[in-house]
Amino acid sequence: MKLAAYIRVSTGSQTISPEAQRTAIERYAELYNHEVILWANDVASGSKRNRPGLARALASKADGIIVAKLDRLTRDIRHLLAVIDGLDGMQIISVAEQLDTTSPNGRFFVTLLGAMAQWEREVISQRTKDCLAENKRNGKRWTRVAPLGNKWENGRLVANDDERTMIQLAGELRDEGLTLDLVAQRLNEAGYVTRRGGALGKWSICRMLKREVS
């Protein structure tokens, strides 16, 4: 068969590298005497549907699409069903699961595994949200960058007195009727800087005054 190979890497950490995906596909194709006529790839989350690489593979003249692992194709069951419905005679071959869609049983198990991939993604997402919420309730670190007016000390959020003084001063200057540019100028003259050590500007002051300090 002539196949379009599809490789996807997400924007976060990888469990299977693009190199490993390509190697698995090449070995499978060689073993079963398939010809890969197109290599397509995307850097995107498994739940994202707008993927140019996948669109290229689906629009190719290949007999099927081959992936190293089914969750490289998608981790959203509705998207997977949409892809299967729109195959127009093309097959889906997954190296890791040793599955294809040439038979009703193959389509059933591909759909089943797709549902499991979505379930896993949603469970991980919910656990992450629960963990972050619990850490926030307990005053523990839940984000890399501390909210303005705060800082991290030993994994706990504590007040950043310098930033809070700066925010208070900015508010007082605005109450006096000074423009954002003048407020920034006064704070710069007083020695205040951004977290990166740069000069404060009017947009820095605007964002600063819109944030709630807790």
Q: What is the dihedral of CA 48, 93, 121, 142, to 10 degrees?
A: -70
Query: What are residue 66's DSSP bridge partners?
Result: 5, 93
Per the CB < 8 A criterion, the answer to whether 165 and 154 are in contact is no
Per the CB < 8 A criterion, the answer to whether 187 and 205 are in contact is yes
User: Is 10 one of the annotated active-site residues of the chain?
Assistant: yes
Which uninterrupted H or E stretch holds 200?
A: none
Give me the catalytic one of 10, 60, 103, 204.
Answer: 10
Orientation of helix 77-85 relative to helix 104-137, angle to 10°: 160
Integer Cα distance of 194 and 197 in angstroms: 5
Residues in contact with 118: Cβ distance below 8 Å, sequence separation at least 6, in sequence order: 47, 75, 76, 77
Residues with active-site annotation: 10
